[in-house]
Structure 1
Amino acid sequence: MKRLSTLVLVAALAGCASTGQEPVADVPAITTTVSSLADITYVPIKVYNQTIAIERPINSTTEVLQLNEKNSPVAGWKLPDYGVYQFKVESLITRRGFGTRAEAFTPEIWLLDSDFKPLQKLPASRLKYDEQSMLTRENLSTEFVLDNRTSSGKQPAYLLALTTEEARQVSLKVANFDEEYARIRARTAPPTGDIYTEAVADGTLRLQITPLLSQPARETRITPPPRPDYVPSTPDIVQKDKASNVSETINQDYLDAVQSALDGKDINQALSLRSAIRQLHITLQQQFSASYDVDKSSLKPPASLPENAAIEASISYYYQQQIILALKQDNPQAALAWIDQVDQLAWEVDQLF
């Protein structure tokens, strides 16, 4: 009897404990609804000298804009104040039904001025389909170039991605995985129809920004120092070739080369010259750092150049030689001034585009 009472007591206690284990309901996410473009949260875009990628999920926590009695999820960014940038906006595709359905958020892109008024609207009809690759998922994308170098008139200050009734009607044909698999395996594809994207109110946006010209404008020009009056003690310090006699005119020669490429519509050559002068600025800083606190007798000028050397090689030779000469004279300030002159030249190259 005592054992039975103990079992009853344990069962009663277990029953009391179970009454507190009730299912907890999911708390719905709070969605912020705005009625004005100025009330949207705009995230600043910070881009320097290399391509960046920003992802933004579109889900239940995304701000919603009331637009013409219709609601649309919105994603906003604050654009850089100065520069030329290439933008690529991607909307990632989600597959369902074993790959037979493709869903995506179909965005319109609005460029707004500083007063949050639309300057340009890029409709969803511009979207194109990008197949899946090793680096990215399949997506719908649109591209454009932003030039914010001019200060006169209105220029874009904000970027807004949203969807409209027209955008929801956009449907693009996408890859049929069954057909792709059958083609690779040399088999007959199953009788499946074409697959088109379906517009949905959620997804993932990816913003890819590539700086073309991002260096800010400057108001002052750095005047290069006079060439140091240095006479080497050994004849191998200064090589008697074409590059050793180059003066300040080499800067103008370089600018003329860039301008000639632009006039000839050879944008690849112009961009190559732009990259070369930027790389030279980095190389000279590394050379200065490596040579700053070493025995001056160990400093050697760069190897001589052939007569038909390219302008990139000639200007590199010239400035490296000037830095070596300045350091041999124990004048690091003059060496830094030569480096600054290359930085100034890089800025002047940007102004030609």
Structure 2
Amino acid sequence: MPARMNRQIHLVKRPETIPTEEHFKFVEVPVPSLGENEVLIHNLYLSVDPYMRGRMSDQKSYVAPFNLNEKLVGGVVGEVVESSSSRFSKGDIVTGMLGWEEYSKATEKEIRKIDPNMAPVTTALGILGLTGLTAYFGIEDICRPKEGETVVVSGAAGAVGSTAGQIAKIFGARVVGIAGSDDKVNYIQKELGFDAAINYKTTDDIQAALEEACPNGVDAYFDNVGGEISDAVLNLLNKHARIAQCGAISSYNKPDDQGPRIQTKLIKSSALIKGFVVSDYSDRFKEGASNLGKWLSEGKLTYEETIVEGFENIPEAFLGLFKGTNRGKQLVKIGEPEYGEI
């Protein structure tokens, strides 16, 4: 009997600027057999995220780069279809950092079970997963907004930014979002409750637009984009402002990107800037997940997902992140459950 085959996506070339389809290759390999305490997972939803661009470069970072000619890895929700583990059974819905592939083998320590009756399973990759936790800790631990302070969020219609802005509102802040289309601006203001929003793509003078939106200056900045937008925000920092440096997507595909020197701005404002990754807070994940779940159930948080269908469309969905095609969390649906509905 011929072996059951498993489609994977490998990184075959390291991008120097914006990745293209040529950097990826579709490969077929046999579905893996299980060892002791392992499970076979039929992947249903796959998350694509901006940080993956950094892992495609062979540079030292907070996580090792992807290896060439091996499958890429990201957040996945899938269904257990075979198990040699006493902790997991066929039909269990699980999540973990797994491959860009249709079937993944994992040890019981690499995945966790999720309850599809508690919330849509995709939230495990978004607002109730690492995405939500990133927003939570960046706001709660670094930005620390007080009642009435002004918080600016760049990349505000993305998965992390949209959640960060909502959490800042829960803390009582006045929130200004920066996004890349009129549709996104309307979304974060009308649906998420941001107090003001700027479409940086249609604004001739981002500095003037920020000054108008932030007449009392900026007390905290949750930065997802870096670049010229952040240069402008830093000019408006109030005394003792706090900056959560979450991402710099505007520079990920520009290896020679340079900008103004920021040291004097930080000194003059006595501001704090802290770069972070969500794993810095791994010992507090339970706290963050508890608060996110509570706020979601109370209607204080909402979320949006952009879901592309089809395994063959994973690279396209990933590349769309750098064109701003997504609103909220970008996911790819690559399978249907075999043992039940979700």
| TM-score w.r.t. length of structure 2 | 0.21
Q: Which structure: larger Rg? A: 1
| TM-score w.r.t. length of structure 1 | 0.21
